[in-house]
Structure 1
Amino acid sequence: MQPAAPIAFKRRLRAALSWLHLWVGLTVGTVFSLVGLSGSVLVFHEDLLQWQQPQLAGHEVVVDGEVLGGILRHWQPQGLRSIHLPQADGLPVWQGYFEDGHRAYFAPDDGALLLTRTVDDDWLLWLHEFHVDLLAGETGHEILGIVGWIALGLLLTGLYLWWPKLGRMLVHLRMYNGPPVRRWLSWHRSSGVLTLPLVLLLTLTGVGMIYHAGARSLLTGMFGGEDPPAALPRPIAVEQAPDWPAVLARATAALPPGARLTRVAPPANGSDVIGFRARAAGEWHPNGRSLVSVDRAGSTVLLRHDATSQALGARMTEAIYPLHIGSVGGSAYKWATAAGGLLPAFGLVTGFLFWRRRRGKR
């Protein structure tokens, strides 16, 4: 026989957690569900974009320095801040990112403008902005971080409330067809427990992206690693246009075998440093976290950074984003990620139906 005091405490604790789980789930859980639903769609962002905008598909992948230079000369004065190179396993066109948030897409062979997208006229970009900051900028980003922490609490309290006595785990995983109160409760609990690892992973990586600096400090402190290096400042006395064919050739030659350039930012005024992002063989990040910097003349390599050679903590940090967006493990994990985004909404609906049915019986 257990003492009465601990039993009474456990009952009060369970009742309090049940009340919190219900009402926090029906309120904050609604935002969590909407963010999850948007994420399920965004897993297929590039696929949907090419289906919706067929002019972006079907191009031969060409990375030509003359074309790159022409795009930058024309569009950098209009706010172009970086450009994504054509990729065989992604969009085969140049993708330009502008300071005001809009994006432009250019033909790989001649740099002709194919498409311009903004949050106001493109539903996928609108959905992306909702997913990352609730359409409210930095304030929304911070709110989303709080929602993420509360969502983690919901998942863990749900696990505690479900946890059965020894030997009854399989019984507690059973889903019932009726009566309605038992049906919705069993579907809510069992589906939540069975899919908890996936939803927990997506939620943790989402929180890790919002609090990236803190996540990196924690992981590198525990498992080793440092911040990515940066090329030393290299000013120039006279402004001169970069020799983009030579720059591309030099940066490509500096890469380890199997790596490829993915993104470049034009040099700042008065700077001789041109920085590239690259994806080395074995990197999970779709854009890569490896770095190469060269001078404007394309004659000198100023920085090489192979992200695959980092300590474990730094590599774990850089796995957060690809794990969250489903770019790891091929199509199986991609579809699992999309399904994981639907699960908070399923939990919200089944929890609401359980509450409504139980309330109606009183």
Structure 2
Amino acid sequence: MTGVRSGTRRSARRWWWTVHKWGGLLLAAVFALIGLSGTTLVIEDGLDRLIHPRRYAVTGEGHQSYARYLATARTVAQPGERAANIVRSVGTGPLTVTLVSRSAGAARRLVYLDPATARVLDVATPAGGVMRLVHRLHGSLLVPVIGRTIVGWVGLALALSCLSGLVLWWPRSGGVRRALSWRRGAGVAANLHRLAGAGIALPLLVLALTGAWISFPNVAAALSGEDRTRGAARLAGMLAPPLARPALKIDAVVARARPLAPAAPLRTIILPTERSADWTLAYDTQPMLTVAVADDSGVAARGLVLGSVAGDSSVGQIVRRVHDGTGMGRVWNGVIALAGLAPTLFGITGVALWWRRRVTRDASRPA
């Protein structure tokens, strides 16, 4: 009986080994691309400060009226462009005004303003540049139409690789302490692969599964019971062309909404659109509180919590926050950044181990 169990364990281990080895070898490059692009997105703000320092050349923490911010942004607007929203930075940073053209498919432009003086710091098109390419690479591997689905399946494959790695690493004797020690004679590649894998496998597994969840929105909606039509309708309203002349002044809107969020910092103001004639104000709370102000009557009411594009469920919001680190603190964002680097390390060390074993096997064969 003991022999049967031992044989079964060996067979299971060989299966896990085969899955881990060939899954890693065949998908190493794709794992690395998605991981590195994910790390880049987590540190996007820091990279943007390095690449575009003038956007962050603010002069202090002062504040002008929102009407002045809009007026300044309109001085650099192109014919037909309208202000769609205003976003304040968390901490010290610029305030941005998004300009949108009424023509279909037109690119948006961001106007960076100094909050203290309302001076224009920079004007940029978010749809272009290196970071936009990184976003597309991470979300679709630059593959049109089916790219998002491919990324979802890659996420599931990465999750299986993490799980198989944990099974193979799990100590059968000697305890966890011995399993986490540097083994003499095993080589640098083997030790790095084993120890780094043991340390980062669980966070990487979480990121792989949450990424797959985001990549399969219909499946996610079915599993969580969320109503995708509500989220899609709200998103369509927000993306519609802004009204040319809202009835209310923006500072009056802020004042009407303030009693519903007296202590929360205001982060975003979405102007009324041709599809939804309400102002939407989002505050820096967890979950994010929104207040809707009717442009015709001026009546303010607490709105929905802003969630993911996929819908309004708390599950969808949590999954997206865990995956991209929004509002999760520096520690988790640091873990995400390290986890994104891990597939590259595993790919290099894994290929090195496979090649070394192959060379050793060929050398041991009789001539």
TM-score by length of 1: 0.78
> Which residue number corresponds to residue 23 of structure 1?
22
Query: Is it true that 1:114 corresponds to 2:122 in the alignment?
Result: yes
Q: CA deviation at 1:151?
A: 0.7
What is the rounded CA distance, in whole Å, between the counterparts of 1:340 and 1:125 in structure 2?
A: 21
2: CA distance between counterparts of 1:151 and 1:79? 43
Counterpart of 1:244 in structure 2 is 250
CA deviation map 1:284-318 (0-9, x unaligned):
xxxx3x2221122572114434679xxxx954532
Equivalent residue, structure 2, for 1:224: none
How far apart are the structure 2 equivalents of 1:209 and 1:91? 29
The 1:191–1:113 alpha-carbon spacing in structure 2 relative to 1, beyond 3 Å, is closer
Name the SS for the 2:146 alignment partner. helix
CA distance 1:185–1:323, change in 2 (3 Å): same
- Cα distance in 2 for partners of 1:102, 1:241 equals 20
Conserved 8 A contact 2:158-2:205: no
Partner of 2:299: 300
Q: Could you tell me which amino acid in structure 1 is paired with residue 337 of structure 2?
A: A
| Alignment partner, residue 85 of structure 1 | 87
1:100-111 paired onto structure 2 within 5 Å: 100=106, 102-107=108-113, 108=115, 109-110=117-118
Deviations 1:96-151 (A, max 9, x none): 2755555422324547472213554x222222221222223542222111111111
Secondary structure of the 2:2 match is coil
Equivalents in 1 of 2:77, 2:99: separation in Å? 10
Residue aligning to 1:142: 149
Identity %: 24
* Root-mean-square deviation over aligned CA pairs: 3.6
Is the CA contact 1:327–1:333 (under 8 Å) kept in the aligned structure 2?
Answer: no
Does the 8 Å contact 1:55/1:114 carry over to 2? yes
In structure 2, which of residues 207, 212, 234 is the aligned counterpart of residue 202 of structure 1? 207
> CA distance change for structure 1 residues 214 and 260 in 2, over 3 Å: closer, same or farther?
farther
In structure 2, the residue matched to 1:45 is 44
Amino acid in structure 1 at the alignment position of 2:156: W
Describe the shift of the 1:101–1:261 C-alpha distance in structure 2 as closer, same or farther (beyond 3 A).
Answer: farther
Cα distance in structure 2, aligned partners of 1:100 and 1:151 = 36
Which segment drifts farther, 291-300 or 65-74? 65-74
Distance 1:350 1:135, change over 3 A: same
SS of 1:361's equivalent in the other structure is: helix
CA contact (8 A) 2:282 2:291 kept: yes
Offset of 1:360 from its aligned partner? 0.6
Aligned partners of 1:264 and 1:49: how far apart in 2? 23
Of the structure 1 ranges 27-36 and 343-352, higher mean CA displacement relative to structure 2 is found in 27-36
Secondary structure at 1:319 match in 2:
helix
Q: 1:188 to 1:125 in 2, by over 3 A?
A: same
Contact 2:256 2:293 in 1 (8 A): yes
Secondary structure of the 1:346 match is helix
Cα drift, residue 154 of structure 1: 0.8
Equivalent residue, structure 2, for 1:347: 346
Which digits, 9 at most, give the CA deviation of each residue in 1:174-205, with x for residues without a partner? Answer: 3325344xx43343223212222222222233
Alpha-carbon distance between aligned partners in 2 of 1:72 and 1:298, rounded to the nearest angstrom? 26
Q: How far off its partner does 1:28 sit?
A: 1.9
> In structure 1, what is the Cα distance between the partners aligned to 2:127 and 2:184?
44
Q: Distance in 1 between matches of 2:85 and 2:76?
A: 13
Contact 1:293 1:303 in 2 (8 A): yes
Corresponding residue to 2:180 among 162, 169, 173:
173
Q: Which residue of 2 aligns with 1:96?
A: 98
Gap regions ≥5 residues in structure 2: 238-242, 362-367
Change (3 A) 1:298 1:134: farther
2:283 to 278, 282, 291: 278
Distance 1:298 1:102, change over 3 A: same
Distance 2:125 2:10 in 1: 55
The one-letter code matched in structure 1 to 2:265 is R
Could you tell me which amino acid in structure 1 is paired with residue 94 of structure 2? P
Count of aligned pairs: 338
Aligned partner of 1:129 in structure 2 is 136
CA contact (8 A) 2:83 2:271 kept: yes
Q: Is the partner of 1:96 in helix, strand or coil?
A: strand
* TM-score normalised by structure 2 residue count: 0.77
CA distance in 2, matches of 1:138, 1:74: 35
Distance 1:325 1:293 in 2: 27
* Alpha-carbon distance between aligned partners in 1 of 2:284 and 2:358, rounded to the nearest angstrom: 55
**Cα deviation digits, residues 68-121 of structure 1 (max 9, x gap):** 54447985975668434222426422142755555422324547472213554x
